[in-house]
Amino acid sequence: MGQFMLLLHDDATDDAELSAAEMQEIIARYRAWSQKWRESGHLTGGEKLTDDPGRIIRSGASGQGMIVSDGPYSETKDVIGGYFLIIADDYAAAETIARGCPHAERGKPIEIRQIQTMD
Amino acid sequence: MTGVPDSPVEKLADQLFRRESGRMTAILLGRFGPAAVDDVEDIVQESLLRACRTWPWKGIPDNPAGWLWRVAERLALDRLRRSDRTGTDVMLSEVGDQWIPVDLLVADEELRLLFLCCDPVNGPETSVPLTLRLACGFSTREIAAALLLDEATAAQRISRGKARLRKLGAVEVTALPGGDVAERLRPVLNTLYLLFNGGYGGNDQSRWIREELCVEATRLSLVLTRNPTTATPEVHALAALFHLLTARLPARQVVGELVDLEHQDRGLWDGRLIGTGLRHLGRSKGASAPTVWHLLAGIAAEHALAARWADTDWQSILNYYDQLVLISDDPVVALNRSVAVAQVSGPEAGLSAVPDGAALQEYHLFHATRARYLRDLGRLAEADVALDLAIHLAPNEAVRRHLKRQAPTRL
* A vs B: CB pairs below 8 A: 78
* pLDDT at residue number A101: 94
DSSP 3-state percent helix, strand, coil across chain B (nearest 5): 70, 0, 25
Q: What is the CATH number of the domain that holds A96?
A: 3.30.70.1060
Nearest Cα neighbor of B355 from B368, B338, B371 is B338
Residue A55, in any domain of the structure:
yes
Confidence check: pLDDT of B402 > 90:
no
A88 burial (CB, 10 Å; 0-12 / 13-18 / 19+) is: buried
Query: Is A87 a domain residue?
Result: yes
Asked if the structure places residue A119 within a domain, the reply is: no
Residue type, A119: D
Q: Write the pLDDT tens digit of every residue in B259-271.
A: 888 889 999 999 9
Q: Is the pLDDT of residue B3 over 50?
A: no
Q: What is the DSSP string of B267-326?
A: GGS-HHHHHHHHHHHHHTTT-SS--HHHHHHHHHHHHHH-SSGGG--HHHHHHHHHHHHH
Contact B2 A34 (CB under 8 A): no
Q: Give the model's pLDDT for residue B100.
A: 37
B106 three-state secondary structure: helix
pLDDT in tens, B105-158: 556 778 888 888 888 777 888 888 999 999 888 889 888 877 778 899 999 999
pLDDT of residue A73: 58
CA distance A19 to chain B (A): 5
Interface test with A, best of B55, B142, B151, B211 (most A CBs within 10 A): B55
Please tell me the predicted confidence (pLDDT) of residue B331.
86
Mean pLDDT along residues B73-83: 82
Beta strand A55-59 with A66-70 is antiparallel
Q: Nearest residue of A to residue B212 by CA position? A: A21
Q: How does A46-71 read in b/e, with b if 16+ C-beta sit within 10 Å?
A: bebeebebeeeeeeeeeeeeeeeeee
Least confident among B84-98, B101-115, B377-391: B84-98
Q: Measuring CA to CA, which residue among B17, B52, B129 is closest to residue A16?
A: B52
B positions 185-244 inside 8 Å of A (CB): 212
Sign of CA pseudo-dihedral B361, B293, B104, B63: negative
| CB-nearest partner of B51 from A12, A23, A46 | A23
Provide the shortest C-alpha distance from residue A26 to chain B (in Å): 7
The answer to whether position A67 is within a domain reads yes
> Best mutation site among B6, B10, B41, B52 for testing chain A: the one with the most A CBs within 10 Å?
B52
- pLDDT value of residue B169: 53
Residues of A in contact with B137 (CB under 8 A): 19-21
**Can you tell me the distance from the alpha carbon of A8 to that of B387, in angstroms, rounded to the nearest whole number?**
57
> Which pLDDT value is given to residue A93?
96
| DSSP string for residues in A84-103 | EEEEESSHHHHHHHHHTSHH
Q: Does residue A19 form part of some domain?
A: yes
Encode pLDDT of B10-24 as tens digits. 665 578 898 889 989
Looking at residue B267, its pLDDT comes to 93
Report the C-alpha gap between A80 and A70 in whole angstroms: 14
The model's confidence at residue B94, banded by pLDDT at 50, 70 and 90, is very low
Helix axes B103-117, B16-32, angle to 10 degrees: 80
Q: Which amino acid is at B127?
A: S
Q: How far apart are CA B400 and CA B30, in angstroms?
A: 47
From the list A17, A24, A102, the residue facing B17 with the nearest CB is A24
Chain A contact for B54, CB < 8 A?
yes
- Is the pLDDT assigned to residue A83 strictly greater than 70? yes
Q: Give dist(CA B236, CA B283) in Å, integer.
A: 6
Structural contact between residues B238 and B293, judged by C-beta atoms closer than 8 angstroms: yes
Residue B139 C-alpha, separation from nearest chain A C-alpha, in angstroms:
5
Distant-in-sequence, close-in-space partners of A60: CB < 8 Å, separation ≥ 6:
A66, A67
Q: Do B56 and A26 touch (CB under 8 A)?
A: yes
What is the C-alpha end-to-end distance of chain A, expressed in Å? 13
Q: How deeply is B61 buried, as exposed, middle or buried, from its count of CB atoms within 10 A (0-12, 13-18, 19+)?
A: middle
* B270, amino acid identity: D
pLDDT of residue A40: 95
Nearest to A20 among B14, B21, B55 (CB): B21
What's the domain range around A35?
Answer: 2-114
Count of domains observed in chain A: 1
- What pLDDT band is residue B208 in, cutting at 50, 70 and 90? low
What's the pLDDT score for residue B105? Answer: 52
Question: What rounded mean pLDDT belongs to chain B?
Answer: 82
Chain B residue with CA closest to A45: the answer is: B57
Q: What pLDDT does B318 receive?
A: 97
Rounded CA gap, B196 and B383, in Å? 32
Q: Where are the alpha helices (DSSP H) in B168-270?
A: 181-200, 211-226, 233-246, 249-252
- Chain A residues in contact with B16 (beta carbon < 8 A): 24
